[in-house]
Structure 1
Amino acid sequence: MEKIIEIKNLTKLYGNGRGIKDINLDIFKGDIFGFLGPNGAGKTTAMKIMTGLVRPESGDVKIFGHSVMEEYEMAMEKVGCLIEIAEAYSYLSAFDNLKQLARYYPDVDHQRIDEVLELTGMIKYKNEKPKKFSLGMKQRLGLAAAVLSRPKVVILDEPLNGLDVEGMIDIRKMIKYLAEQEQTTFFISSHLIHDVELTCNRIGVIYDGKILNVESTQTILSNYATLENYFVSEVERNGRVSSCAR
């Protein structure tokens, strides 16, 4: 399998003791990788480093063999991302927001804008302005922006935040469609165990800034009734669940 993302010995600690500690991960072409952990586990820190928003204390991230720290433009050339909150120009329509972004990509035309609006369930709102949108609709528009340029890698931090059940289903379908039809590689963080189980083909459990284990979803579900059971087992096995939570 072709290795797309290499994370080596990645460490970044903050004054409050949170962050990530010596993370190592390999992500392969076509993976829908789920980065699963509770709030404060270090997911967003790792993803900010992966996208060049934060520098690590040590370690490196390579995307398509290029270091994010040393060759940022080459590493990020084929990457789309949504980290934390989806932002948009409130005074422009959904279509015109994406049209502004499309100026940076020579191969993105109006047809592609309509295509990603359709993929994210936003086509019927294309002429409406984000100032009227719900949180879930803003999230959908942010996801449309993340895949607009036909990236080969998409990094999404809590992409299902704010979405209703219909929205979650739509975005899961989009992710699986792009992974299967365009061999897009996804790196997705979430604390929503059920949605990770339904979306991802490989899962890495992160807890207290450390990777506990990485396994295929198929293998996990052949040994555990649910992903939640697996997660609790991994955390308990590593001695990190208090007795009151067991």
Structure 2
Amino acid sequence: MEKVIEINNLSKIYKNGRGIMDINLELNRGDVFGFLGPNGAGKTTAMKIMTGLIRPDSGDVKILGYSVLEDFEKAMSKVGCIIETAESYSYLTAYENLKQFSRYYKDVDDKRIEEVLEIVGLQRFKNEKTGKFSLGMKQRLGIAAAILSRPEIVILDEPLNGLDVEGMLDIRNLIKDLAEKEKTTFFISSHLIHDIELTCNRIGVLYNGRMLNVDTTENILNNYASLENYFISEVERNGRI
């Protein structure tokens, strides 16, 4: 299997003592990895380091063989991402936003913009200004922007936030479809256990800044009644008081 993400001894501690400590992880092409942990566990910190938004205290991240710290442009050249919130230009329409984003890429034409609008379910809203969009619609647009360039790796921080049940199903199916048909690798963070269980084929539990365990969803569900039971077991086994 081809390794596409390698996280080695990654640490970042803030002045308040929170952060991440000594995280190690390897992901293969086509994996849908779920980064599971409560709010404040350190998920966003790790993802910000992965995408070059902050620097770690120690450790490194390699994407497609390139160090994010030493060769950032090459590491990120085939990556799409949403970190924290999906932003857009509120005075532009959905279509105009994607047209603006397309300027950063060589091979994204109007046909591709129409295609991703259809994929995320925004085609009929493409001429509406995004300032009037609901949180869920903004999230869909953010995902459209993240997959616009046909990236090999997509990093999504809480991608199902603000989505209704239909939206969650749509995005979940989109993720699974791209992983299966195009071997797109997904790195997804969430505190929503049920969604991670239904979406991801590999899961890592992050708690108080530490990676407690990484396993396949299949193995977890063969040994536990649910991902929730597994999560509770891992947290208690690793010393939560």
TM-score, with normalisation over the residues of structure 2? 0.99
Query: Which residue does 2:232 correspond to in 1?
Result: 232
C-alpha displacement at 1:104, in angstroms? Answer: 1.4
For residue 236 of structure 2, give the secondary structure of its aligned residue in structure 1: helix
C-alpha displacement at 1:163, in angstroms? Answer: 0.7
Query: Which residue does 1:28 correspond to in 2?
Result: 28
Write out per-residue CA displacement over residues 186-205 of structure 1, whole angstroms, 9 at most, x where no aligned residue: 00000000000000000000
Query: What is the CA–CA distance in structure 2 between the aligned matches of 1:51 and 1:26, rounded to whole Å?
Result: 16
C-alpha displacement at 1:228, in angstroms? Answer: 0.3
Query: What is the CA–CA distance in structure 2 between the aligned matches of 1:27 and 1:196, rounded to whole Å?
Result: 16
Query: What is the CA–CA distance in structure 1 between the aligned matches of 2:135 and 2:74, rounded to whole Å?
Result: 33
Moved more, 195-204 or 103-112: 103-112
Query: What is the CA–CA distance in structure 1 between the aligned matches of 2:54 and 2:127, rounded to whole Å?
Result: 35
Write out per-residue CA displacement over residues 100-159 of structure 1, whole angstroms, 9 at most, x where no aligned residue: 111111211111111111111111111111111001100110010000000000000000
Alpha-carbon RMSD across the aligned residues, in angstroms, is 0.6
For residue 101 of structure 1, give the secondary structure of its aligned residue in structure 2: helix
Q: Within the alignment, does 1:152 sit opposite 2:152 as a pair? A: yes
For residue 149 of structure 2, give the secondary structure of its aligned residue in structure 1: coil
Query: Which residue does 2:53 correspond to in 1?
Result: 53
Amino acid of the residue matched to residue 99 of structure 1? K
Query: Which residue does 2:139 correspond to in 1?
Result: 139
Amino acid of the residue matched to residue 211 of structure 2? I
Query: Which residue does 1:163 correspond to in 2?
Result: 163
For residue 89 of structure 2, give the secondary structure of its aligned residue in structure 1: coil
Query: Which residue does 2:8 correspond to in 1?
Result: 8
Q: What is the identity percentage for the equivalent residue pairs of Structure 1 and Structure 2?
A: 74
TM-score, with normalisation over the residues of structure 1? 0.97
Query: 1:117-132, aligned counterparts within 5 Å?
Result: 117-132=117-132
For residue 124 of structure 1, give the secondary structure of its aligned residue in structure 2: helix
User: Which structure 1 residue ranges, 5 or more long, are not aligned?
Assistant: none
Query: Which residue does 2:215 correspond to in 1?
Result: 215
Query: What is the CA–CA distance in structure 2 between the aligned matches of 1:59 and 1:139, rounded to whole Å?
Result: 31
Query: 1:55-204, aligned counterparts within 5 Å?
Result: 55-204=55-204
Write out per-residue CA displacement over residues 62-91 of structure 1, whole angstroms, 9 at most, x where no aligned residue: 001100000000000000000001110111
Query: What is the CA–CA distance in structure 1 between the aligned matches of 2:106 and 2:67, rounded to whole Å?
Result: 25
